[in-house]
Amino acid sequence: NAGVTQTPKFRVLKTGQSMTLLCAQDMNHEYMYWYRQDPGMGLRLIHYSVGEGTTAKGEVPDGYNVSRLKKQNFLLGLESAAPSQTSVYFCASSRLETYNEQFFGPGTRLTVL
Amino acid sequence: SQQGEEDPQALSIQEGENATMNCSYKTSINNLQWYRQNSGRGLVHLILIRSNEREKHSGRLRVTLDTSKKSSSLLITASRAADTASYFCATRASNTGKLIFGQGTTLQVKP
């Protein structure tokens, strides 16, 4: 049982390049989330999904797109990376019920030059 | 916008001492959760307290919740060097159901 995994762990992009971050979970969770974490700030929700084929915007969705084609996978895409997107990105998953914890992946450190 | 505000931002104590971190929030909540993050790692869930609970214990952790003051505290007793980490509170808003994280408290426990 690997929990929540993220690939890649590190990435450096040039401004304007695109990339996709992959999140996978093997806990059969319905909900999945993408957060970004910046120095001195907590986690901010980018997008989330309440089930296969559905996605919704979080607090800071601009510049990102997501897809949930399979229940176990949640992809975060950057179409045209900007230096402001330099951050650490965390994926998380949880069961459907309200009183459930979120399980986090180890994070992806992204630098945009 | 951030709902949780944590205090203090940083805390340094000696091993064996107790550490107390506080969290304040703005809107009505279903529950409040505390997470721990070791440097360079993902967050790990520590404890959840529901809005109708006032206190909860888990090992060396004690969490209190005061919904009238919209605040919570996390107490770590008999701290160890291994407790060195950042601690985040997260509130699940009643209206949106989303989990909103505070900015965190960085705890350093000196051996």
What is the tens place of the pLDDT at every residue in A78-97?
999 999 999 999 999 998 76
Buried b (16+ CB within 10 A) or exposed e, A9-30: eebebeeeeebebebbbeeebb
Give the pLDDT score at A96. 78
Type of residue numbered B31 = N
Q: Which residues of B touch A36 (CB under 8 A)?
A: none
- The nearest CA of chain A is from the CA of B14 a distance in Å of 24
Task: Find the residue in A nearest to B50 (Cα).
Answer: A99
Q: Which residues of A touch B93 (CB under 8 A)?
A: none
Reported as a single tens digit per residue, the pLDDT across A4-53 is 999 999 999 999 999 999 999 999 999 999 999 998 778 999 999 999 99
SS3 A112: strand
Query: Residues of B near A (CB-CB distance < 8 A)?
Result: 1-2, 4, 30-31, 33, 35, 40-45, 48, 50, 88, 92, 97-104
